Amino acid sequence: MTKRWAVCLLTSIAVFSACNDLDFLEEVPKDFLAPQNAYNTKEGISQGITGLHFRVRNDWYFGEELQDVGAIYKGLGTDIAFHGEDPNSTRFLCNYVNYLTPSSEYVKEYWDRPYKLVQQVNLLVEGINTADESLFTPEERNALIAEALFFRAYAYRHLVSFFGDVPVVTETIDFAKTDFVRDPTTMAYQLMEEDLTFAIGNLPNPGSEEAPGRITKGAAYHLLTEVYLMQHKYNEAVQAATHVIDDFGYQLMTERFGSNPDVFGSGDAYSDLFAYGNQNLKENKEGIWVIQFEPSTVIGGSNNRWTRAFGPAYFRMGNTPDGKPAFRGELVNGAYTGYSDSLGRGVSWIRPTNLSAYTLWEGNWNNDIRNAKHMIKRDFYYDSPGSAYDGQKIDFSKYPSSAGRDPIRDTCQYIYPYFLKFADPMNVLDNEATSGNGASYKDLYAMRLAETYLFRAEAYIGLGELDLAKADINSVRARSHAKPAETGEIDIDYLLDERARELYGEDCRHFVLRRTGKLIERVRKYNNNPLNPGLNIQDYHVLWPVPQDQIDLNIDQQWTQNTGY
């Protein structure tokens, strides 16, 4: 018994003696990434910047891991689009009341993804600030911090728009914190302005960035313009937008450029903006920030899913009126696929409303090149050798009543006006048997100059300067050969219509409708989901519910849920 106690006592002494050595207590991460080991080299910090781009690309532009997020950021649940595959789905914001609940796993994503980006930025900035001074000149260090802070502002723009008051976090959280405060939106806006002002002062000018897709002063000014518009700081928004328009050599593309595939028989300067490989060309003066995609054979490469999201599921429509397969498709490995390489494999996640597909083009149907046949495909044709209908335009009225067709599926899922800016026709890089499986490696615009003009027009409308707003709107319309707007036509609804014509699917329509106070009105008026017109949107849906798990975890600081939930 005496020997046993002696052993225990010696062991205790050894442990407590070691605990007196402060070096022993210093945490040195060896099997996980932290500022001490991830961001202590140039290479590591460079990878950190790449990681921010990677997160934004995957969270907001990838569209596969949780399809709802990408689709809703691109217009679902607004005046311009509804879910075509199943218009009464419990997903894809087909019904505001059912979809926007505090316990929804989908709503949680809109909170979690931006905050993951914020944490990643804060971690990286901490690493850059503590990295050895010999690694960078002060200018290089500030440029890296500036690019990171751009992404923090980008994330908070999302959070404030969807949720209103949110915790403003500027430091790395490396412990279990349970007393977050929902700070007023003014604090978040102040942080965004500070981050973007620092970014503008330290980022490179457009054309001087290290690689395509990197952030420049132009992108920071563009985002700052939007932040000002969110606060109705219209004079400041005009000034920021004017810097983008005048200072960096950006131009609206009015002449043809780059590769011109003209798969559908015609093309123009607007269609060239969206042709594969044209987004990063030096001659393309319109792109401000372009999200980069590379084939999966490249390390870190991935596709976007916009062909899948925006394209109709024509291949599911069954037979011709005389009972033959409607689409033969391509010959791959000795068998016909049922898919067309010119159309890809769409799944109808994002179906345009009548506003987007028809109403917006009235009065300019034949002259506005954004409505050209090579930009919005409205006519589809049977590919069915052996059928009397082979090569004829698809017309559901020609089917016998005995065919038992479902008009909702026919016009919402199978065939509808397809905005071809999101297609990547005849450019199948993998999955040949399914014509690319809805994937594309085409780069996507996060920002382009046409939107900056419309930002400034929005600010001028807010200031009551309608002639100046008209001039900016007409700059965009002139490139598209649309009839010039008249001063008497200019108001916020006209501006929103013009944004839809120019930027359908490129911007987050929710942001735009919220900051202009038009979300509820225009969803009720224009969203013609055939199974749920107006999407059951209620007045309180202007903000989304804070995820319940965030309220429950924050046990030391009580949060009030957003009104209505």
Q: Quick: pLDDT tens for 123-148.
A: 999 999 999 999 999 999 999 999 99
| Rounded average pLDDT over 294-298 | 82
The three-point CA angle 124-129-134 to 5° equals 115
State which of 442, 472, 489 marks the end of a domain.
442
Question: If pLDDT is split at 50, 70 and 90, which confidence band does 112 have?
Answer: very high
Residues 6+ apart with CB under 8 A from 550: 111, 559
Distances (CA, A) of 342 to 85, 264, 339, 369, 427: 20, 8, 9, 20, 8
Please tell me the predicted confidence (pLDDT) of residue 458.
99
Please indicate, yes or no, if residue 1 is contained in any of the structural domains: no
Residue 277 predicted with pLDDT over 50: yes
Task: Count the Cβ atoms, other than its own, within 10 Å of residue 24.
Answer: 9
Ramachandran class of 481: left when φ > 0, alpha when ψ lies in -120 to 50, beta otherwise: left
Whether 68 contacts 91, CB under 8 Å: yes
Neighbours of 538 (CB within 10 A): 13
Is the Cβ–Cβ distance between 394 and 381 less than 8 Å?
A: yes
Whether the per-residue pLDDT at 425 is higher than 80: the answer is yes
Identify whether residues 80 and 175 lie together within a single domain.
Answer: yes
Comparing CA positions, the residue from 58, 173, 69 lying closest to residue 123 is 173
Rg, the chain, Cα only: 26
Domain membership of residue 240 (yes or no) is: yes
Looking up residue 269, the CATH number of its domain turns out to be: 1.25.40.10
d(CA 108, CA 314): 33
Three-class DSSP category at 336? strand
Per DSSP, helices labelled H in 372-484 are 407-408, 449-463, 466-479
pLDDT band at 33 (very low <50, low <70, confident <90, very high): low
Q: Residue 491 half-sphere exposure, CB side, CA atoms within 13 Å? A: 5
Give the pLDDT of residue 18: 38
Residue 299 pLDDT > 90, yes or no? no
Question: Which pLDDT belongs to residue 262?
Answer: 73
pLDDT band (50, 70, 90) for residue 417: very high
Inside any domain, residue 12: no
In this structure, of 46-55, 56-65, 347-356, 383-392, the range with the lowest mean pLDDT score is 56-65
Residue 329 lies in a domain: yes
Q: What is the mean pLDDT of residues 477-504?
A: 98
Do 54 and 121 lie in one domain? The reply is: yes
- Is the confidence at residue 105, as pLDDT, over 60? yes
What's the CA gap between 520 and 108, in Å, rounded? 22
Q: Do 282 and 344 lie in a common domain?
A: no
Query: Chain-centre distance of CA 335, in angstroms?
Result: 37
d(CA 96, CA 293): 32
Q: Is the pLDDT of residue 19 over 90?
A: no
Are both 386 and 433 inside the same structural domain?
yes
For 242, the token pair is: 């004017």
Number of domains the chain is built from: 3
How many C-beta neighbours within 10 Å does residue 184 have? 13
196 within a domain of the structure (yes/no): no
Residue 9 maps to a domain: no
- State yes or no: pLDDT of 1 exceeds 50: no
Percentage of the chain with pLDDT > 70? 93
Q: What's the confidence (pLDDT) of residue 7? A: 30
Q: What is the pLDDT of residue 27?
A: 55
pLDDT of residue 10: 30
Helix axes 105-130, 42-56, angle to 10 degrees: 160
Distance between CA 39 and CA 195 in Å, rounded?
A: 21
Write out pLDDT tens, residues 224-271: 999 999 999 999 999 999 999 999 999 999 999 998 777 777 899 999
pLDDT at residue 4 tops 80: no
> Is the same domain home to 429 and 450?
no
Domain membership of residue 242 as a residue range: 204-292+446-501+508-515
Per DSSP, what are the bridge partners of residue 447?
Answer: 289
In 3D space, the residue among 4, 49, 495, 108 whose CA is nearest the CA of residue 292 turns out to be 49
pLDDT of residue 117: 97
- What is the token pair recorded at 526? 């224009």
Dihedral angle over CA of 425, 428, 434, 439, nearest 10? -80
Q: What number of H helices and E strands is found in the chain?
A: 21, 8
Averaged pLDDT for residues 521-549: 98
At 114, which CATH number?
A: 1.25.40.390
More confident residue, 34 or 247: 247
Average pLDDT for 49-78: 87
Q: Residues 528-555: what's their mean pLDDT?
A: 97
Which pLDDT does position 69 carry in this prediction? 87
- Do residues 293 and 440 touch, judged by C-beta distance below 8 A? yes
Question: To which H or E segment does residue 444 belong?
Answer: strand 444-448
Which two tokens mark 39? 């961001």
- B/e letters for 85-112, b = 16+ CB within 10 Å, e = fewer, are bbbebebbbbbbebbbebebebbbbbbe
Does residue 320 surpass a pLDDT of 60?
A: yes
Residues 246, 366 share a domain: no
Residue type, 346: G
Q: Looking up tokens 């109705």, which residue turns up?
A: 232
Whole-number pLDDT of residue 476:
98
CA distance 101 to 241: 37
Q: Look at residue 131 in the predicted model and tell me its pLDDT.
A: 94
Q: What is the pLDDT of residues 326-382, one digit of tens each?
A: 999 999 999 999 999 999 999 999 999 999 999 999 999 999 999 999 999 999 999
**Final residue before a domain boundary, out of 442, 459, 490:** 442
16 pLDDT higher than 50: no
User: Looking at the structure, do residues 214 and 288 belong to the same domain, yes or no?
Assistant: yes
Number of residues assigned to the chain: 565
**Within-domain flag for 3:** no
Residue type, 169: V
Give the per-residue pLDDT at 298. 82
Helix (H, G, I), strand (E, B) or coil at 93: coil
Residue 40: predicted pLDDT: 85
Window from 193-202, 431-440, 462-471, 507-516 with minimum mean pLDDT: 431-440
pLDDT tops 70 at residue 156: yes
Strand partners, 335: 332
Q: Is 74 in the same domain as 145?
A: yes
Q: Tell me the pLDDT tens digit for each residue of 372-392.
A: 999 999 999 999 999 999 999
User: Whole-angstrom Cα distance, residue 284 to residue 3?
Assistant: 83
Query: Do residues 270 and 283 share a domain?
Result: yes
* 296 touches 429 (CB < 8 A): no
Domain shared by 232 and 354, yes or no: no
pLDDT at 11: 30
436 and 451 within one domain: no
CA dihedral over 24, 42, 295, 264, signed as positive or negative: positive
Q: Are residues 77 and 179 in the same domain?
A: yes
Contact partners, residue 420, CB within 8 Å, separation at least 6? 264, 271, 274, 374, 375, 376, 377
105 falls within a domain: yes
Q: Phi and psi for 533 in degrees, rounded to 5?
A: -55, 135
Q: Using CA atoms, how far apart are residues 522 and 89, in angstroms rounded to an integer?
A: 21
From CA 407, how far away is CA 361, in angstroms rounded?
A: 24
The pLDDT value recorded for residue 323 is: 97
484 burial level (CB within 10 Å; 0-12, 13-18, 19+): exposed
pLDDT for residue 15 is more than 90 = no
